[in-house]
Amino acid sequence: MTAGKFRDRIRTSIQDEALQAALDGNAERRVQGSKAAFASLPDHQPRRQRAHAIRNEVIEHLDEYLERFIKQVKNNGMIVHRAEDAAVAINIFLEIARSHNAKLVAKSKSMVSEEINFNHALEAAGLTPVETDLGEYIVQLRGERPSHIITPAVHLRRHEVGALFHEKLGIPYTEDIPILTNTARKVLREIFLTADIGMSGVNFGVAETGTLCIVTNEGNGRMVTTVPPVHVALMGMERLVPNLDDLALFLSLLPRSATAQKLSVYTNLIHGPRRGNDPEGPRERHLILLDNGRSQLRNSPLKEALLCIRCGACLNACPVFREIGGHGYVGVDGSPAPYPGPIGSVLSPGLFGSLEFGHLAQASSLCGACREACPVDIDLPGLLLRVRAGVAINSNNKDGVGVPAPLKTGLQIFRKVADKPRLFGLLQRSAGLGSRLISLRSNWMHLPDFSGWGFSKDLPRPALKPFRNRWVDLEHEEPGKIERKKLPPVKIETIPTKLIDLEDQFMDELKALGGECHPCKPSELTERILALLQARGIGKVMVDKKAGETLSGSNLELVHQPDPTCRGGVTRVAAGLADTGSLLVTAGEGELLSASLLAEVHIAILNRSDLHASLPDVLNTKIVRQAASAVIISGPSRTADIEMTLTIGVHGPGELIVLLVDDSAPAMIK
């Protein structure tokens, strides 16, 4: 087996200056950002261990968790399909599309769909899949695959996106990221509104409640699961957590690891299709559970790779990813590996075989930065070593997968020598002498490039007298007497508990996210809303039932249905979360999710008595469990898909204003 195409790819990637600049930016910003985000989670190491244990439990008993999950999802009114491989999954989807006479498919980001080459298959069947995550849309326009699990266009600089949009979308060339983002927003808004099917991935499935959890920042995940008449979710069958309390734990880890956020802007919790008198939501929801090699991976020594929650942190931390980017990881035939980075170098051979992808595992110095960054503590260096040892499928039961033949021979000879101490010593001394012939004066030898080592560094001459020979004549000192004192164990810093004013915390957090919060008295509420809308020249707003009551009698045109022509949306929200500045909204009769999604400006009314400390306080509650879908909103919609430059306002509202109604005494918590 040769990995010549991989080596070529490495060389061209290293020489690509624009790529190198993009990857350096990614490594530096992401690693720093994630560190800062975890600073707000002082117990993050114990959480990480708990997360590992929970995922391990799920993978150990996957059949039971799947059975419970599927039963619940069906009870919730969704249609469940199981697909053993890519072809079956695609056929299931095409069957659904045919039954609805569907042509246009709006997609939010899904690595599983990349894994099965979904877009290509749909196009071949005459359908039009459109990626709606900004980064994913960019790579689709370029005819590329994503180069990162989280930020698909991380390999590109703004000038490349500018040129692409000029060419494909006909706008004047610009490097202005907000203009580029807004262009994509306009184009994709049409797609959301006219798509026949909305297609999404799934971040977590919750076994106990049948919840599908999908997190996005731009709002496209909400759009494709809310606006089109049919929603199809595609999910790797291993992505389960036992219950909603566990989900809260994972939601404290995933966004921090992925994008350095306490929570993603939109955390969607989906339970089923539109019910009875709901004003919105798809009439039909499907879930396709994909195996595609996972069962067999689960029965292999690479099982631990199934714990992965696809946060991309190992990519950002990896010094090799930093050099070659996601497109650098290619199979023996030069085609891109299904998953990039350290986890990809385990998953790709683990799912699709060593012959094709085993060599990727050799491209690691085993430095362990990936494991350190992993929020579920997957032993990635250990798994890479196992891939190298030939445990993945199609390795022909041979070890040393991906080792070039000369190196293999060298190591075999070395073993034969090192097995025999006397021979080893003899050869050491001969090498010492021999090296003096290569390099007469210097202690360092300049070996040719093809030796590998000689490519960028000199090699020391072996000593004329190795240590084993020096030991014999070594002068020993009398044992010294140095004072000994054992060190105390490392102290783990604890953060002193202090009283936190929920209201202050909520306001600070929301502000940090780019939202606004205004405390107000119940009697002022209507007047404040009218002033906010008037200042923005908005006369027509989407409202839910309760907000409609608050605003009845005003001059505003109130709309109780999804209406993309409304620039404003006003809703009463069910709860606020102080430590993340988040809001909880739910679907249902009298509710209107679209008001917080389709509008440019979302004004939320939150009662102070509905403020809670943090996510675990609201996640496992009746209001969430019983809603066909619920969303936790953390700030205005955002993206950082172009050069990791934060841009506010993508598919969801660009402005989020919370009116915090003073209906009770301030709450303090420890």
Residues 471-490 within binding reach of another protein (CB under 8 A): 471, 474, 476-487, 490
* Torsion (CA) 55, 56, 57, 62 in degrees, nearest 10: 80
Min dist CB 548 to another protein, Å, is 56
Which 343-372 positions form the footprint of another protein (CB under 8 A)? Answer: 361-369, 371-372
What string of H, E and C letters represents the secondary structure of 554-615?
Answer: CCCEEECCCCCCCCEEEEECCEEECCCCEEEEECCCCCCHHHHCCCCEEEEEEEHHHEECCC
Q: Which of residues 490-549 bind another protein (CB under 8 A)?
A: 490
Distance in Å, CB of 150 to another protein, minimum: 21
The C-alpha atoms of residue 544 and residue 592 are separated, in whole angstroms, by: 5
User: Helices in 318-404 by DSSP H: which ranges?
Assistant: 321-324, 341-352, 354-357, 369-373, 380-388
- Sites for another protein among residues 409-468 (CB under 8 A): 411-412, 414-415, 418-419, 421, 424, 428, 431, 442, 444, 446, 449, 451-453, 455-460, 462-463, 465-468
List CB contacts of 37: < 8 A, sequence separation 6 or more: 255, 256, 260, 261, 262
Residues 6+ apart with CB under 8 A from 100: 196, 197, 229, 230, 284
396: left (phi over 0), alpha (psi -120 to 50) or beta: left
If the CB atoms of residues 7 and 511 are measured against another protein, the closer one turns out to be: 7
> What would the x/- binding string for another protein be over residues 318 to 337, using CB under 8 A?
-xx--xx-------------
Length of the chain: 670
The least CB distance from residue 299 to another protein, in Å, is 16
- Least distance in angstroms from the C-beta of 47 to another protein: 19
- Name which of residues 605 to 634 contact another protein (CB under 8 A): none
Closer by beta carbon to another protein, 194 or else 443: 443
Selected binder of another protein within 470, 519, 521, 557 (CB under 8 A): 470
Rounded to whole angstroms, the Cα distance separating 359 from 392 reads 11
Identify the burial level of 56 via C-beta atoms within 10 angstroms of its C-beta, where 0-12 means exposed, 13-18 middle and 19 or more buried.
middle
Cβ 113 vs Cβ 152: under 8 Å:
no
| Least CB distance to another protein at residue 428 (A) | 5
Relative orientation angle of helices 134-141 and 177-194, to the nearest 10 degrees? 90
Stretch that binds another protein, among 110-118, 271-279, 335-343, 395-403 (CB under 8 A): 395-403
The least CB distance from residue 262 to another protein, in Å, is: 25
Minimum Å distance from CB 274 to another protein?
50
- Least Å from the CB of residue 613 to another protein: 33
Query: Measured from the CB atom, is 229 or 301 closer to another protein?
Result: 301
Q: Which is nearer to another protein, 173 or 455 (CB)?
A: 455
C-beta separation of 623 from 502 below 8 A: no
Shortest reach from residue 471's CB to another protein, in Å: 5
Interatomic CA distance for residues 667 and 613, integer angstroms: 10
Q: What is the token pair recorded at 4? A: 């010549």
Rounded to an integer, what distance in angstroms lies between the CA atom of residue 235 and that of residue 454? 47
If the CB atoms of residues 24 and 504 are measured against another protein, the closer one turns out to be 24
389 or 520: CB nearest another protein: 389
By CB under 8 A, the residues from 129 to 168 that bind another protein are: none
**Does 596 interact with another protein (rule: CB under 8 A)?**
no
Q: For 132, phi and psi rounded to 5 degrees? A: -120, -10
Which residue, 345 or 582, has its beta carbon nearer to another protein?
345
- Count of residues touching another protein (by CB under 8 A): 78
Closest distance to another protein from the beta carbon of 165 (Å): 32
- 266-325 binders of another protein (CB under 8 A): 319-320, 323-324
CB contact set of 205 (below 8 Å; sequence gap of 6+): 69, 73, 211, 212, 213, 235, 239, 240, 241
CB of 411 to another protein, least distance (A): 5
- For another protein, the binding residues in 192-221 under the rule CB under 8 A are none
User: 295 or 365, CB closer to another protein?
Assistant: 365
Closest CA to 604 of 493, 494, 525: 525
Q: What is the DSSP letter of 208?
A: T
**Considering only residues 22-81, where is the footprint of another protein by CB under 8 A?**
none
CB-wise, 33 or 400, nearer to another protein? 400
CB 228 within 8 A of CB 193: no
Q: Which of 10, 215, 556, 604 binds another protein (CB under 8 A)?
A: 10
Opening angle at CA 586, ends 670 and 67, nearest 5: 90
